[in-house]
Amino acid sequence: MLKQIAGFRLYLGYLKQGYRSANQAIAAINSIKKGDSELHKKYFVSFTSINPNISASSTLTSAIGLQQEIIKVCQSIKPRLKSDLFTRPQVAYINKFLSRLLLDCADDIELVVELNRGKGYKLDDAERLRRLQTCFEGMYDKYVFAVSFNNEVNRVVRFKFHSQKDIQNMQALYDLK
C-alpha cells in the first residue's frame, strides 16, 4: 500500500506539473489572441480614422475653389438667357443643364467632405486618397465642361445677334420695315 501511495504522490506531482504547463500554455494563447485581436482592432479602426496628412490635403479646398468657379460660370450665363435670342425650349434646356451641373458639383463636394471626415467610409489611406483624387478630377472635368458650355452659349449669342443685325440691315436696305 505504501508503494501505491508513493505512486499516487508521484502521479499527483506529474498532474500538478501538467496543469501548470497547461495553464501557462492557455495564458500564452490568450496573450497571443489578445495581441492579435488588438492588431486587428487597430487595423479596422484605421479605416475609420483619417490620417492628418490626408485631411490636410489641398483636395478639399481645390474642389471647393473649382465649385466656386463653376458657379461663377453658371451665373455669367444666366443674364444672356433673358434676351430674346433664345427660344423657350433652349432656355429651359440651358437652365436644366445648369441646375444639374450645380447639383452634381454639390454631390461631389459632399463626398469630398465626407471622405475627409471619415463619415460612413471605412477606407485605408490609399483608397481614401484615390477616391478624393477621383472626386477632384470629376470636379475639374465639370469645370472644363462648364467653361466650354459657356463659350458655346457665347458663340450662339454672337451668331444670333449678328443674324438679327443682318436682318435689320437688310430690311433697312430694302425698305421692308
Q: How confident is the model over 129-154, as a mean pLDDT?
A: 92
What whole-number distance in Å separates Cα of residue 95 and Cα of residue 92? 5
Please, are residues 87 and 160 in contact by the beta-carbon 8 Å criterion?
A: no
Q: How confident is the model over 102-108, as a mean pLDDT?
A: 92
The residue whose grid cell reads 443674364 is: 79
CB burial of 101-112 (b: ≥16 within 10 Å; e: otherwise) equals: bbeebeebbebb
Instruction: Write down the domain spans for the chain.
Output: 1-48, 51-173
Sequence-distant (≥ 6) Cβ neighbours of residue 133 within 8 angstroms: 59
Q: How confident is the model over 33-52, as a mean pLDDT?
A: 62
The residue whose grid cell reads 463653376 is: 70
Confidence of residue 25 (pLDDT cuts 50, 70, 90): confident
Q: How much is the pTM? A: 0.65
Phi, psi (rounded to 5 degrees) for 50: -100, 130
Please, are residues 97 and 149 in contact by the beta-carbon 8 Å criterion?
A: yes
The percent of residues in the chain predicted with pLDDT above 70, rounded, is 82
10 Å Cβ neighbour count for 94? 19
pLDDT at residue 146 greater than cutoff 90: yes
